[in-house]
Structure 1
Amino acid sequence: MNHRQFILPIALLSLTACQQLPADVQQHVDTMSDCEKVLALTSGAQDDFAQLKGSEVSSPLMSAWQPKAHLIANSCQINQYSSGRVAYECTKSFITESDATALFNKVDQQLSACLGTSWQKDQVKTTALLYTSGASKAKISLSQGTGLDRNEPWVISLEISQ
């Protein structure tokens, strides 16, 4: 009997099972409040977001995963670079500057409300903020600027890393 025909399906099934959360845990992630997501991500930075990694994304230059929690409407990804650095990164593009500014301000307010008094916010530039805390190795950067897309040139980016 040729056992090779059984190995690949079993391996794929095992890999798929490892990437899915139990139904009750996934339901909790799906129903997390914005503040619970922020706190899970800041604490998750310490272990390279292991509990928040979803399915792996194909990428030739780095390892990448879809996160189980998004801070900015399904525009986020967990990336591991060749240096070993792991970051939770979100990028959202807009047609107008006013839409980008509105989201920038909303995310800033969300972070400020959720992080608490142990976190400090520094304005690096007019449109760039850095959140740090002596109680956490995580750092959060939020920025607004322009990108190369002519149709949606205004970009908001959020990064959480160590």
Structure 2
Amino acid sequence: MIRILSAAICLISISGCGATLTPEQSAYVDSLTPCEKIQGLVDSFDNGFAPLKATRVQNNFSDIWTPKYHLLGNSCQIIGFNANRMAYKCAEQYDDETQSRESFDWAVEKVTSCLGSQWQASETLQNDSKRITFKHTNHTAQISIQSGKTLAKYRKTWQTSFEVGDLIAQ
């Protein structure tokens, strides 16, 4: 527990405006466990993931930041449609269903073991897609993990996604 709290404090301290982490900051982020990363995401949600934001890109519809760490693959983003709607989203594509389901199972196991039984999980199955959403009565953030077939036309691929936020489609 102490390590999780110190991780959150350190994440806040590395939240400088620059897009590049110092070597010391990179080494620290690289040493974080998946549980510390998940807890950091939940803890920083109400602050718009401020300590985790790096490079920012704006368009007409949203602001997008690269995060200071990735929980699933290397394709995570922090997306903000406005000050009140933010999400940390990752998606990883795979050539077959087995790889996608293994990634999905790993993420579900990590969230379950890291956050504990007070986070209630609900499962949704639709066609070839499976989603588990975690909610807690004392947290506004939701966690959603999904695995399913992509809509790619020419090549059958599978995707696993991980999201912390309030943009989750229910």
Common topology (TM > 0.5)? yes
Show the counterpart of 2:9: none
- Identify which of 133, 136, 148 aligns with 1:133: 136
Q: Is the 8 A contact 1:94 1:152 kept in 2?
A: no
* C-alpha displacement of 1:88: 0.3
How many correspondences in the alignment? 147
Show the counterpart of 1:42: 42
Any idea what SS the aligned residue of 1:19 has? Answer: coil
String of CA shifts for 1:56-108, please: whole Å, max 9, x gaps: 13545321001112110212100011584110001111111111111111111
Larger Rg: 1
Change beyond 3 A, Cα 1:113–1:101: same
Instruction: Supply the RMSD in Å over aligned alpha carbons.
Output: 2.2
How far apart, in 2, do the equivalents of 1:143 and 1:47 lie?
25
* C-alpha displacement of 1:20: 4.1
How far apart, in 1, do the equivalents of 2:33 and 2:108 lie?
16
Q: What are structure 1's unaligned runs of at least 5 residues?
A: 1-15
Letter in 2 for 1:76: C
* C-alpha displacement of 1:25: 3.9
The runs of at least 4 consecutive aligned structure 1 residues that moved more than 6 Å come to none
Listed as ranges, the matches of 1:11-90 within 5 Å are 18-21=18-21, 23-57=23-57, 59-82=59-82, 84-90=84-90
Show the counterpart of 2:117: 117
Q: TM-score, normalised by structure 2?
A: 0.77
